[in-house]
């Protein structure tokens, strides 16, 4: 099953939006495979955002991400990466449609509450980076979940 790495950023944790974000992924039918609250190190964040190292906003981004604990999650299910990104909204919250997480809860690109992997490949890299101990699969009870899992 496809997996994605979703992270509630420090402003999302500070504002008490963890439950709201989890609720949206649960309601949609995705399966929670891993969940952790941690205060990330600079080294971890620089690896996570390595692709953006040359951007002018990179130092500010790292500073923002170091401002408090984050909640990292692995969600699994059909088209988890692309649909997960749709649920988050656009990078710039002002371009995010109402009904998306960013479109409902923020207005600043530098305080946009949540992160979602942008490809299956980066999802697997991010999961390995943030959950080096590994993430186990588990079976959900078919009778409880068939409504959302039947094609
Ligand atoms: P993530 O899910 O956090 O990876 O966001 P994204 O994939 O929508 O955007 P991207 O990976 O390009 O940028 C990572 C993060 O850097 C964004 O979520 C923003 O918090 C921040 N960022 C991106 N572009 C800008 C910008 O132009 N200005 C500022 N201040 N921050 C930016
Ligand atoms: Mg990104």
Task: Indicate if the pLDDT at residue 149 is higher than 80.
Answer: no
Between CA 66 and CA 46 the distance in angstroms is: 11
140 has binding-site annotation: no
Q: Is ligand 1 within 6 A of the CB of residue 61?
A: yes
The residues, ordered by sequence, that sit 6+ positions from 55 with a Cβ below 8 Å of its Cβ are 61
Between CA 102 and CA 45 the distance in angstroms is: 21
Task: Report pTM.
Answer: 0.94
**What local confidence, expressed as pLDDT, does residue 141 receive?**
80
Tell me how far CA of residue 79 lies from CA of 3, 21, 55, 130, in angstroms: 8, 18, 29, 21
Task: Indicate if the pLDDT at residue 142 is higher than 90.
Answer: no
**Given ligand 1 and candidates 4, 89, 91, which is best to mutate, with the most ligand atoms within 8 Å of its CB?**
91
How many angstroms does the Cα of residue 117 sit away from the middle of ligand 2?
Answer: 6
Give this complex's ipTM: 0.96
């Amino acid at each position: 099953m496809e997996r994605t790495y979703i992270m509630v950023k420090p402003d999302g944790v500070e504002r008490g939006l963890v439950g709201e974000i989890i609720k949206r992924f649960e309601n949609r039918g995705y399966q929670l495979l891993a969940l952790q609250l941690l205060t990330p190190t600079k080294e971890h964040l620089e690896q996570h955002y390595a692709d953006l190292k040359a951007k002018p906003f990179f130092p500010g981004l790292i500073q923002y991400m170091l401002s408090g604990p984050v909640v990292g999650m692995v969600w699994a299910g059909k088209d988890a990466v692309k649909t997960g990104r749709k649920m988050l909204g656009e990078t710039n919250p002002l371009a995010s449609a109402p009904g998306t997480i960013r479109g409902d809860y923020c207005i600043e690109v530098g305080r946009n509450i949540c992160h979602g992997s942008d490809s299956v490949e980066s999802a697997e890299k991010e999961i390995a980076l943030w959950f080096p101990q590994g993430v186990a699969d588990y079976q959900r009870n078919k009778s409880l979940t068939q409504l959302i899992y039947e094609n």
